[in-house]
A = this chain, B = another copy of it.
């Protein structure tokens, strides 16, 4: 059984024009999928719809065997926002990472254990008592991921996880994400980043899913990429 399944889904605000239509794809447990498309193509709206923030306009989404219903948030499905500052609101790093686990009603030792583990997985050990707004950009980004991991999600939706990171931080992010067993969908303009992490790519543009297949095939298809305002990543262009 697939972890996430969309069939003929329509996406967009109820009172506006549709952003994406007739969207259908499945994701398996532990699969990593890259989501590519120009700004405004609907990557964020798709994430919000899968995460049950936006209602679907049409079709069915099922996650973990149950239909997704807008407003019913599922702790197994975590989303990491593009702007880390929108997501970090507790005073210190440890408190922020623990937030989701505390809300699940777990016993205190379990919350502490999960927090310590999530901090370690994200390379943040030792920063527990730092105020979140004093963290660097890369640390903030990883703190958001730790705050999601603490809930032990089955699917992570990551919106531009490499934006504004320097190369070292970007490399750390690749290492971190590639080690996680969680299924994830990553929206990014950083195609090299996706190429290293995601065996599979979805390309959306002009209101529909334009391609769904192996990352290498899609990203190296110069005609397809140009048609949708993308450029073949340099590492594939010369390869």
Contacts and interface: CB of A to CB of B under 8 A. Distances in A.
Given A163-B163, A234-B192, A238-B238, A38 B229 contact: no
Contacts of A164: 82, 160, 163-164, 189
A10 interface: no
Interface string A158-178: 001001111111110000000
Contacts of A238: 234-235, 238-239
Nearest to A169: B39
A40 interface: yes
Given A39-B138, A137-B39, A235-B237, A165 B192 contact: no
A136 interface: yes
Contacts of A212: none
Interface string A206-239: 0000000000000000000000011101110111
| Stoichiometry (number of copies) | 2
Given A160-B164, A235-B237, A136 B40 contact: yes
Nearest to A188: B166
A165 B164 CA distance: 11
SS class of chain A's interface: helix, strand, loop or mixed? loop
Contacts of A231: 167, 171
B237 A166 contact: no
A170 B233 CA distance: 14
A229 B168 contact: yes
Contact of A38 (B167, B230, B239): B167
B40 A167 contact: no
A230 B167 contact: yes
Interface string A8-51: 00000000000000000000000000000111100000000000
A213 to B, nearest CB: 19
Contacts of A229: 166-168
A144 B233 CA distance: 28
A238 B37 CA distance: 26
A233 B230 contact: no
Contact of A168 (B38, B137, B165): B38
A177 to B, nearest CB: 17
* 4 A-B pairs closest in CB distance: A234-B234, A168-B229, A238-B238, A234-B235
